[in-house]
């Protein structure tokens, strides 16, 4: 006859430490190691990383700089007799140009932060959020070209 000995399971099932509210990873003091997806992605689940690729940061900085140029060119076009078609921005410009520039750059910055955080999230089978960032960069480039054309018509150069 065989004797069965039962051994209790003493292992701690949850081995992860609790994440503090102010974490050095979140504040950017210490960066994590994960650059890509961790495992094979599950369909419909968002994928996040610890560090972001350089081309995504370059894209975000380029969008911010083009936003600054857009605000500068918009104010120059308005000074030469142009009209702001966006009602919200027109109200801010009437109030003060500082409010206009602050609101425009704050809105662009907050949207970029959300797009950077979620850059790996799949919108469809082949489209991710970072594709949208490159579309925004292309759109801003076309907008700056159009504003330069309008300033050329107004005799700015």
The alpha-helical segments, DSSP class H, found in 18-86 are: 54-79
Give the per-residue pLDDT at 93.
92
- Give, in order, the Cα–Cα distances in Å from 32 to each of 78, 94, 132, 134: 46, 46, 25, 25
This prediction has a pTM of: 0.70
Q: What is the mean pLDDT of residues 14-33?
A: 56
- Distance (Å, rounded) from C-alpha 72 to C-alpha 119? 28
Among 131, 111, 122, CA closest to 47 = 122
108 vs 127, higher pLDDT: 108
123-139: per-residue pLDDT in tens?
887 888 888 999 999 99
Give the per-residue pLDDT at 108.
94
Give the per-residue pLDDT at 63.
96
For 46, residues 6+ apart whose C-beta sits below 8 A from its C-beta are 118, 120, 121
Give the per-residue pLDDT at 114.
86
Give the per-residue pLDDT at 129.
85
């Amino acid at each position: 006859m065989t004797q069965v000995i039962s051994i209790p399971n003493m292992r701690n099932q949850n081995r992860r430490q609790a994440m503090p509210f102010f974490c050095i990873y979140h504040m950017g003091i210490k960066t994590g190691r994960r650059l890509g997806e961790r495992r094979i992605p599950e369909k419909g689940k968002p994928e996040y990383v610890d560090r972001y690729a350089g081309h995504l940061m370059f894209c975000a900085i380029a969008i911010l700089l083009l936003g600054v140029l857009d605000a500068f060119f918009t104010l120059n076009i308005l000074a030469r007799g142009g009209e702001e078609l966006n009602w919200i921005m027109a109200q801010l410009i009437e109030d003060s140009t500082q409010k206009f520039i602050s609101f425009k750059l704050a809105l662009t910055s907050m949207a970029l932060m959300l797009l950077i955080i979620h850059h790996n999230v799949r919108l469809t089978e082949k489209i991710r959020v970072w594709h949208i960032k490159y579309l925004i960069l292309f759109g801003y480039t076309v907008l700056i070209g159009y504003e330069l054309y309008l300033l050329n018509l107004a005799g700015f150069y």
